[in-house]
Amino acid sequence: MKVDTCSPQTGEQQFLIMMDANPVTPQRVETLLKSHEDSLNAIRKRYDVNDLWYLEVLAVHPSLQGRGLGSMAMQWVLDRVQDSPIFLECTAEQNVNFYEKLGFEVVEKVDLTDEKDIAKVWLMFRQAQKLSS
């Protein structure tokens, strides 16, 4: 794959380059799954919650960002979970503020490491919301 190094790369290009350079291995998958399970257990223990929603993926293609689509999608998710607690694992630091504006807080920043890389993940949690009467 040829990439123009003179111009900034899109998120999609960066992802494809990363995947070419760092293919998914069983060890990487195991590391991600273990981190996810550890994060889930930490939130359950810290906030004393059992009934907990998990937002696995929310993404807007880079060419469509800045149009409010992510906010609309998140509002749909928050309407669906109503007042229940919800957590997510944010994988891009520039998106942390987006989730904070929606009531999420960073619970922990995790560095997932393997023999080649460090991937950063921001574990974020939104506590149960009181329904307005």
Q: DSSP letters of 10-49?
A: PHHHHHHHHHHHS---HHHHHHHHHHHHHHHHHHHHHHT-
Residue pLDDT tens, the chain, 133 long: 333 334 444 445 554 444 555 556 777 777 778 888 888 888 889 888 888 898 988 889 889 989 999 999 999 999 999 889 999 989 889 999 999 999 999 998 888 776 667 778 899 999 987 765 5
pLDDT number for residue 102: 94
Report yes or no on whether pTM surpasses 0.85.
Answer: no
pLDDT attached to residue 101:
95
| d(C-alpha 5, C-alpha 3), whole Å | 6
CA dist 84 → 61, 78, 97, 99, 126 (Å)? 28, 9, 21, 16, 9
pLDDT for position 132: 58
Domains and CATH numbers, the chain: 25-126 (3.40.630.30)
What pLDDT sits at residue 7?
41
